[in-house]
Structure 1
């Protein structure tokens, strides 16, 4: 006989008492946080780097992913698992949000940072299927990831720091300075 280490009681939206393990609640809460934290990190990164072109690209790709996701939810009206009588399962909005942020980080700034963002986004996808409420199935999660990644690739180009910088200075008198800086 297998006995779970920790079991907790939770209540579903229908008011039914159900028994779940503590890790399921932790996983679901982690997914809830990461679906906001990953795109927030992507947007803040563009600001910290003063990458305003990236800010615009992120805003366009993230907004597009959310509009497409919520439009598809209304058009397709797929019922959520476990007969909840809710018809907005496809695609997963949490997963779309997380993968939109992760794919932006990877596409704009490379795999060095993108791999960790994708790991976080994958955790969000798993949390939507394996949390105590099991809000989605694999197809909802894969579709959410596809929408998030697809919208990023529509609008985002890789970040390239300009290796050559040109500067000009005049003190108002007869002094003029032209500078050329090359970084390699």
Structure 2
């Protein structure tokens, strides 16, 4: 519970910092400051989620997980950027940019979130998915919106799909062996968890 509170406090501080730092580049625009904060938050989280996933594997010394994350993230990245070149969908707001589908930010965020959930369970995964959803919203609701709902859903599907191809749930040792000695007695225990 303390970890969740710490994460939420960090996120609140991040939003406050982003709000203080966000500046409207065009003072005559119709956009509100919160839109810039949302976009900045999405930019941060699209990197923070995969970094958190990778660091978790290192902290847990889960080298198999590190390898699975590398394969799943790289696959999502390659598919996402290849589809941008193949589909050539125009970005909203008539920007004359033809790389809208799928959202790369969303692919990155959902790749990290789905890895955390798939490898380590819903206890942490649900919060990672909430943060990844914020990234998707930021891509649609930030100033002028960089993507529409289909771009974001496509990015999320690629991020989640690539994770589920390569990632297996983390299993701790199911067998624990213990030994006790004292008063000329010896005790050897085996514990198997189902």
The runs of 5 or more residues in structure 2 that have no matched partner are: 1-22, 178-187
Runs of 4+ residues deviating >6 angstroms: none
**What's the counterpart of residue 112 of structure 1?**
123
Mapped partners of 2:99, 2:190: distance in 1: 54
- 3-state SS in 2 of match to 1:10: coil
Q: Which residue number corresponds to residue 169 of structure 1?
A: none
Greater strand percent: which structure?
Answer: 1
Q: TM-score, normalization: structure 1?
A: 0.83
Q: Which residue of 2 aligns with 1:79?
A: 90
- 1:24, 1:97 → 2: CA distance? 21
Q: How big is the shift at 1:162? A: 1.1
Q: 2:32 aligns with which of 15, 18, 21?
A: 21
Tell which structure's C-alpha radius of gyration is larger.
1
* 1:133 to partner: Cα distance: 3.2
Inter-partner Cα distance in structure 1 for 2:153 and 2:169 = 24
More helix by share: 2
Please state whether the residue corresponding to 1:150 is helix, strand or coil: helix
RMSD: 2.0
Aligned to 2:17: none
Q: Name the count of aligned residue pairs.
A: 162
Contact 2:100 2:151 in 1 (8 A): yes
The answer to whether the Cα contact below 8 Å between 1:10 and 1:19 also exists between their aligned partners in 2 is no
- Residues 35 and 97, structure 1, Cα contact 8 Å, conserved in 2: yes
Unaligned runs of 5+ residues in structure 1 are 1-7, 167-178
Alignment-derived partner of residue 143 in structure 1: 154
- SS, match of residue 145 in structure 2: coil
Q: Which of 25, 34, 43 is the aligned partner of 1:10? A: 25
Contact 2:42 2:139 in 1 (8 A): yes
In 1: Cα distance, 2:75 partner to 2:28 partner: 38
CA contact (8 A) 2:24 2:36 kept: no
Normalised TM-score (structure 2): 0.78
